[in-house]
């Protein structure tokens, strides 16, 4: 049974090497890797010793066990110091390795000298070989050496627990367990005079614990290959969290930006820090829900920081989250400067454009007024019809039957004064005739619609406002078309007539009816309304009737104010 114990422990040790090899990468501490070499070799020595048939075989196996006795505890101590981020003086490291080497060399003299064992023989108890030895002076040195390594290792763990909150408490506990178990097994097992040695099982237990340590190292090592250059440069802050939002570590740049990290212990939930709970936690939760939400900004002490959220990877596996923090202040100031310059430039351009548009509109209005002054009306037709169009459009916007855009409405009102520009091409004898036109004169008068569209097209040629250009041309060209097709100049009917021209037609006719001309008196509102209503479905689009009726009180009020 005893030999089976050593065989099982050896097999377990070898099996534990396999997952370590799978997890291994270049950032794993070399001393951890060495442990996975020393333990199987040491346990092989114990297994060989249990089955030795001669003293010479037993001595060879015993020498293998002292590989672990002399170097394994030293190696574990180096692991602890490395994980606790405590630097041992180079000469001290050399001295300790030299001490272990001297002790091991003396152990190799067992059976040949008296430095380690003064004498040695062997016996078989319950089928297991045991050495009967009389210890020499170097054996006492080896015991003292092991006790020294144990004290230094425990001291490093206790010091880190008390003074270093950036060292994970879970990691310290994991480092503590194999040290204590190994020492208890080594010294306690021998004091109990057991048939079997407990040290091989303790060493196998250490390998199992170091698998967990290796797994955790993959989380805590934020300077992994993907970010190593950034860590070294010192310009980028790095903070790492696991998937449960526990703090895993950060570099000095991040701690300078977020001093609150200095008070947060590794493996603590970020909820333990008010600042991290209010700032970092919302960023992480948003990123977890939407990976495209990977940017955040933070202002502090007049500086602007850009936080880029990414996954924390171990090779190709996602293991948590990390922040890349860069100072974006200068870039933001540059952007703000450009934005202010652009805003000022846009404001100046808008002001200049508005001035040009105003001049353009005044020029067009001046031309329309000049044309109107040649007509036989009493004046003000342009202003009155423009107001009429505005009131009709306002009424239409209150209903969804004609879904008019803001741009369309403004363009129709603005285009209204241009509807009669074509009269500039009509002979004065016809234009200013006080009575009815002859058929020939009326044909000449009708030409003003198409001529007006041509003039408007030339005036607005090259304008950026294509919508206004089109509406203005349509208003001038088709405001004399009739719904039943009896109008001019194209004889369009129904919806062939653009909506803007249909609106203009009502305002134009209404003004002609209620205004005084040299050849007629003005009609009353009742008479004019009768004619307009009679023309619905013939002269005018009947679908505009509700809007005319809605605007009618305001039209009457407006014309009454002009009397």
- Identify the band that residue 390 occupies on the pLDDT scale cut at 50, 70 and 90: very high
- Identify the band that residue 424 occupies on the pLDDT scale cut at 50, 70 and 90: confident
Q: Residue 170 is encoded by which pair of tokens?
A: 């879970």
- Identify the band that residue 139 occupies on the pLDDT scale cut at 50, 70 and 90: confident
Residue 327, pLDDT score: 87
Residue 132 vs residue 324, higher pLDDT: 324
Residue 232, pLDDT score: 47
Q: Running DSSP on this structure, what letter comes out for residue 110?
A: B
pTM greater than 0.85: no
Flag whether pLDDT at 298 surpasses 90.
Answer: no
Please compute the mean of the pLDDT values over residues 451-477 and round it to a whole number: 87
Candidate from 218-232, 357-371, 499-513 with smallest mean pLDDT = 218-232
Distance in angstroms (rounded) separating the CA atoms of residues 71 and 64: 11
What's the pLDDT tens digit per position in 251-278?
Answer: 888 888 889 888 888 888 888 888 888 8
Distance in angstroms (rounded) separating the CA atoms of residues 49 and 382: 119
Residue 192, pLDDT score: 52
Residue 537, pLDDT score: 93
Question: Regarding beta strands 237-242 and 117-125, do their DSSP bridges make them parallel or antiparallel, or are they unpaired?
Answer: unpaired
Residue 227, pLDDT score: 46
Chain mean pLDDT for the chain: 84
Distance in angstroms (rounded) separating the CA atoms of residues 58 and 136: 18
489: preceding bond cis by omega (within 30 degrees): yes
Residue 192 vs residue 439, higher pLDDT: 439
CA 476: distance to chain centroid? 54
Crossing angle of the two packed helices 73-83 and 30-50, in degrees rounded to 10 = 160
Task: Considering only the C-alpha atoms of the chain, give the largest distance between any 2 of them, rounded to a whole number of Å.
Answer: 150
Distance in angstroms (rounded) separating the CA atoms of residues 448 and 426: 7
Flag whether pLDDT at 379 surpasses 70.
Answer: no
- Identify the band that residue 66 occupies on the pLDDT scale cut at 50, 70 and 90: confident
| Percentage with pLDDT > 90 across the chain | 26
Residue 216, pLDDT score: 73
- Identify the band that residue 373 occupies on the pLDDT scale cut at 50, 70 and 90: low
Please compute the mean of the pLDDT values over residues 486-499 and round it to a whole number: 93
Please compute the mean of the pLDDT values over residues 115-140 and round it to a whole number: 80
Residue 361, pLDDT score: 66
Flag whether pLDDT at 95 surpasses 70.
Answer: yes
What's the pLDDT tens digit per position in 396-418?
Answer: 988 878 888 899 998 999 888 88
What's the pLDDT tens digit per position in 152-185?
Answer: 999 999 998 888 877 878 888 888 888 888 888 8
- Beta-carbon contacts of 76 under 8 Å, excluding residues fewer than 6 positions away, are 31, 35, 149, 153, 178, 179, 182, 206
Residue 374, pLDDT score: 57
Residue 358, pLDDT score: 67
Residue 495, pLDDT score: 92
What's the pLDDT tens digit per position in 306-364?
Answer: 999 999 887 678 889 999 998 888 887 887 788 888 888 888 877 876 676 666 666 66
Flag whether pLDDT at 509 surpasses 70.
Answer: yes
Q: How many other CB atoms are found less than 10 A from the CB of residue 22?
A: 9
């Amino acid at each position: 049974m005893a030999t089976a114990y050593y065989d099982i422990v050896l097999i377990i040790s070898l099996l534990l090497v396999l997952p370590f090899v799978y997890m291994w990468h270049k950032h794993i501490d070399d001393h951890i890797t060495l442990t996975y070499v020393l333990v199987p070799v040491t346990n092989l020595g114990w297994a060989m010793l249990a089955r030795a048939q001669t003293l010479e075989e037993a001595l060879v196996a015993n020498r293998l066990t002292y590989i672990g006795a002399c170097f394994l505890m030293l190696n574990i101590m180096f692991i602890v110091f490395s994980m606790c981020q405590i630097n041992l003086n180079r000469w001290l490291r050399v001295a300790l390795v030299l001490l272990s080497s001297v002790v091991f060399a003396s152990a190799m003299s067992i059976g040949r000298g008296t430095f380690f064992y003064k004498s040695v023989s062997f016996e078989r108890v319950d089928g297991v070989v045991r050495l009967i030895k009389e210890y020499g002076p170097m054996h006492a040195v080896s015991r003292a050496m092991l006790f020294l390594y144990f004290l230094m290792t425990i001291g490093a763990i206790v010091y880190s627990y008390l003074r270093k909150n950036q060292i994970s408490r879970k990691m310290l506990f994991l480092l503590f367990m194999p040290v204590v178990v190994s020492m208890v097994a080594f010294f306690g097992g021998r004091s109990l005079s057991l048939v079997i040695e407990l040290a091989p099982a303790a060493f196998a237990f250490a390998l199992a614990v170091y698998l967990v340590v290796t797994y955790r190292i993959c989380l805590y090592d934020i300077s992994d290959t993907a970010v190593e250059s950034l860590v070294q440069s010192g310009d980028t802050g790095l903070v790492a969290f696991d998937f449960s939002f526990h703090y895993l570590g950060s570099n000095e740049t991040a701690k300078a930006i977020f001093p609150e990290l200095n008070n947060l212990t590794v493996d603590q939930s970020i909820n333990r820090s008010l600042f991290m709970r209010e700032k970092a936690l919302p960023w992480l939760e948003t990123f977890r829900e939407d990976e495209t939400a990977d940017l955040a900004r933070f202002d502090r002490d007049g500086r602007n920081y850009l936080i880029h959220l990414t996954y924390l990877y171990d090779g190709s596996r996602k293991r948590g989250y990390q922040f890349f923090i860069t100072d974006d202040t200068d870039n933001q100031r540059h952007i703000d400067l450009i934005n202010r310059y652009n805003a000022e430039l846009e404001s100046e351009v808008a002001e200049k454009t508005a001035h040009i548009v105003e001049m353009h509109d005044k020029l067009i209005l001046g031309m329309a007024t000049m044309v109107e002054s040649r007509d036989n009306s009493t004046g003000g037709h342009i202003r009155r019809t423009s107001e009429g169009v505005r009131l009709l459009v306002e009424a239409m916007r209150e209903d969804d039957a004609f879904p008019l855009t803001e741009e369309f409405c403004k363009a129709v009102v603005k285009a209204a004064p241009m509807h009669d520009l074509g009269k500039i091409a009509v002979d004065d004898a016809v234009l200013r005739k006080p009575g009815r036109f002859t058929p020939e004169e009326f044909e000449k008068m009708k030409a003003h619609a198409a001529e007006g569209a041509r003039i408007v097209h030339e005036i607005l040629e090259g304008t950026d406002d294509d919508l206004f250009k089109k509406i203005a041309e349509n208003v001038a060209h088709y405001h004399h078309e009739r719904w039943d097709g009896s109008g001019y100049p194209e004889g369009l009917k129904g919806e062939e007539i653009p909506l803007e021209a249909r609106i203009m037609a009502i305002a134009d006719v209404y003004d002609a009816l209620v205004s005084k001309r040299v050849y007629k008196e003005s009609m009353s509102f009742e008479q004019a309304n009768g004619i307009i209503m009679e023309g619905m479905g013939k002269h005018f689009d009947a679908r505009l009737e509700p809007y005319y009726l809605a605007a009618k009180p305001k039209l009457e009020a407006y014309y009454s104010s002009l009397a």
